[in-house]
Amino acid sequence: MTANLFWILLIAIVASLFWQQRRQSELAKNYIARRCQQTNVQLISIARGSHFFGWPKGPLDIQTRYYFEFSVNGLDCYQGYAVMKGMRIKEIYMPAYPVLEE
């Protein structure tokens, strides 16, 4: 009986962590797409990088780094990253890139 309860609890925790990671990925995608739209660059791709749990100095949050590629004129490609802490954006980094004049 106790073993069954342990396994059910373990599965529930793993499912919850997976669900939180999916929500975080969707929010990161929206933040990155919005930033690219604001800076008039074309978003090419997004990939999830490293992630870890931030428990010692605060609440149990998943901190994840997302890498993305963008282009200014469709010929070149630059790589930036965004850091999500929990469900909030912590940092978005985009390297220096040439600005097209209209």
- Residue-level pLDDT at 92: 94
**Could you tell me how far CA 84 lies from the centroid of its own chain?**
5
For residue 66, which of 19, 22, 29 has the smallest C-alpha distance? Answer: 29
- Residue-level pLDDT at 16: 86
- Residue-level pLDDT at 3: 84
- Residue-level pLDDT at 46: 95
Residue 22, both tokens: 């999916």
- Residue-level pLDDT at 34: 96
Q: Within the chain, where are the H helices?
A: 2-38
**DSSP assignment, residue 17?**
H
Task: Give the chain's residues under pLDDT 50.
Answer: none
- Residue-level pLDDT at 21: 86
